[in-house]
Amino acid sequence: DAKTTQPPSMDCAEGRAANLPCNHSTISGNEYVYWYRQIHSQGPQYIIHGLKNNETNEMASLIITEDRKSSTLILPHATLRDTAVYYCIKGGNTPLVFGKGTRLSVIA
């Protein structure tokens, strides 16, 4: 079962939107897309999740393509505190499988 595919690293200027892409071409119909982030060695922090509709909460927006094969996490106004490793995970009711994620560096 293939995991998702994310770029290993990205930079973003402080105050700009950070757009983190994720490819999940093998996603099943009942699998959600979850996004987490991990700052230093803290426990992973849940950000947002969705099935097929776009989602928004106080932290971020999630855009899922119509064919559900890819998605984009959007942090609308990145701050230095958003520097972290971001994980995109597809999953149903089974344990979530973490890949290596994208290391986002927000630059002043």
Partner 1 sequence: NAGVTQTPKFQVLKTGQSMTLQCAQDMNHNSMYWYRQDPGMGLRLIYYSASEGTTDKGEVPNGYNVSRLNKREFSLRLESAAPSQTSVYFCASRADYQPQHFGDGTRLSIL
Task: Label residue 40 left, alpha or beta by phi (over 0 means left) and psi (-120 to 50 means alpha).
Answer: left
Kindly state whether residue 28 participates in binding partner 1, applying the rule CB under 8 A: no
Q: Does 21 bind partner 1 (CB under 8 A)?
A: no
Distance of CA 54 to the CA centre of its chain: 13
Which tokens hold the place of 47? 């950000």
Span of 14-22, 38-46, 53-61, 62-70 interacting with partner 1 by CB under 8 A:
38-46
Residues between 57 and 96 that touch partner 1 (CB under 8 A): 87, 92-93, 95-96
Q: Name which of 80 and 96 has its Cβ closer to partner 1.
A: 96
43 binds partner 1 (CB under 8 A): yes
Separation between Cα atoms, residue 15 and residue 42, nearest integer Å: 24
CA pair distance 76, 106, nearest whole angstrom: 12
**Residue 34 interacting with partner 1 (CB under 8 A):** yes
Contact between 10 and 105 (Cβ < 8 Å): yes
* Interface positions with partner 1 (CB under 8 A): 32, 34, 41-46, 49, 87, 92-93, 95-101
